[in-house]
Structure 1
Amino acid sequence: MLFSKEDEPPSMLINNYDWDSVQTFVDVGGSHGSIAIGLANHFPHIQCTVQDLPETANEGASRLQESLKGRVDFAAHDFFTPQPIEADVYYFRSIFHNWSDKYCIKILQMLIPALKKGARVIIHERILPTLDTLNSLDAKRAIKMDIGMLQLLNAQQREQDEWPELFRRADARYRYVGAKKPAGGIRWIIEAIWEG
Structure 2
Amino acid sequence: MAAPYASAEEIDKLVENVNVASKAFKAESGRGTEDARRKLQVEATKLLYSLQEPNTEVWPRIFQVNQSAAIEVITQMGLWSKFEDGKILLLKDIISTTGADEVMIIRIFRQLVAANVLSDVPGPGYKITPLGAPYLNPDHAAFSSFVFTEILPSILSLPRNLSTRNYKAPSKDSGSPYKWANGEELWTYLGSHPERALNMVNGMRSLHTGSLETNAYPFAEELAKMDIKDGEVAIVDVAGGQGHIMAEVRRTCPEIKGKFIVQDLASTFEAVAAPPEGIEYMAYDMFTPQPVKGAHVYHYRHIFHDWSDGDCSSFLQQLVPLLKEQPGSKLLLVDLVLPNTDVSMQECVRDLSMFPIGGLERNEGQWRELLEKNRLKIKKIWRGTEPEACVECEVL
TM-score in terms of structure 1 length: 0.81
C-alpha contact (below 8 Å) 2:308/2:360 kept by paired residues? yes
Deviation at 1:76, TM superposition (A): 0.2
Residue correspondence of structure 1 range 47-86 to structure 2 within 5 A: 47-59=259-271, 62-65=274-277, 68=278, 72-86=279-293
| Structure 1 equivalent of residue 302 of structure 2 | 94
Q: Alignment partner for residue 345 of structure 2, among 131, 134, 140?
A: 140
SS of equivalent residue, structure 1 residue 110: coil
C-alpha spacing 1:164/1:60, structure 2 compared with 1 (3 Å): farther
> What are the superposed Cα offsets for residues 31-54 of structure 1, whole Å, 9 maximum, x if unpaired?
011121122221432421000000
In the alignment, the residues of structure 2 paired with residue 85 and residue 97 of structure 1 have an alpha-carbon distance, to the nearest angstrom, of 23
* Equivalent residue, structure 2, for 1:19: 223
Using CA pairs under 8 Å that are at least 6 residues apart, name the structure with larger relative contact order, 1 or 2.
1
Aligned positions, number: 181
Aligned CA distance change for structure 1 residues 63 and 49 (closer, same or farther; 3 Å): closer
Distance in 1 between the 2:389 and 2:214 partners? 13
Mapped pair 1:190 → 2:190:
no
**Matches of 1:80 and 1:99, distance apart in 2:** 12
**Percent identity over paired residues:** 25
Separation in 2, partners of 1:19, 1:61: 29
CA distance 1:180–1:12, shift in 2 (3 Å):
closer
Kindly indicate whether the alpha-carbon contact (under 8 Å) linking 1:83 and 1:112 is maintained by their aligned counterparts in 2: no
Does structure 1 conserve the Cα–Cα contact (< 8 Å) formed by 2:378 and 2:392?
A: yes
* Secondary structure of the structure 2 residue equivalent to 1:190: strand
Aligned residue number for residue 365 of structure 2:
161
Summarize the Cα distance change of 1:119–1:194 in structure 2 as closer, same or farther, 3 Å threshold.
Answer: farther
Which of 171, 175, 178 in structure 1 is aligned with 2:380? 178
Change (3 A) 1:119 1:148: same
Task: In structure 1, list runs of 5 or more residues that go unmatched.
Answer: none
1:124 to 324, 334, 341: 334
Alignment partners' CA distance in 1, 2:327 and 2:272: 30
- Do the aligned partners of 1:32 and 1:61 also contact (CA within 8 Å) in 2? no
Over 3 Å counting, the alpha-carbon distance change for 1:63 and 1:117 in structure 2 is closer
**Cα separation, 2, equivalents of 1:89 and 1:79:** 16
Partner of residue 34 from structure 1, selected from 238, 244, 253: 244
Shift of 1:14: 4.7
Shift of 1:163: 1.3
Q: Is the 8 A contact 1:33 1:60 kept in 2?
A: no
| Distance across 2 between alignment mates of 1:16 and 1:126 | 22
What do the CA deviations read for 1:90-117 (whole angstroms, capped 9, x no partner)?
Answer: 1111101110100011111111343312
Alpha-carbon distance in structure 2 between the residues aligned to 1:118 and 1:162: 26
SS in 1 for 2:361: coil
- Aligned position for 2:81: none
Q: Which has the larger radius of gyration?
A: 2
Given that residues 308 and 358 in structure 2 are in contact (C-alpha distance below 8 angstroms), is that contact kept between their aligned partners in structure 1?
A: yes
Q: Is the 8 A contact 1:40 1:46 kept in 2?
A: no
| Alpha-carbon distance, 1:30 to partner | 0.3
**Residue segments in structure 2 that go unaligned for 5+ positions in a row:** 4-54, 60-206, 229-233
> 2:17 maps to which residue?
none
Separation of aligned partners in 2, 1:166 and 1:75: 27
Distance in 2, matches of 1:57 and 1:84, equals: 18
Q: Structure 1 or 2: larger helix share? A: 2
Q: Residues of 1 paired with 2:358 and 2:350: CA distance?
A: 12
Instruction: For residue 280 of structure 2, give the secondary structure of its aligned residue in structure 1.
Output: strand
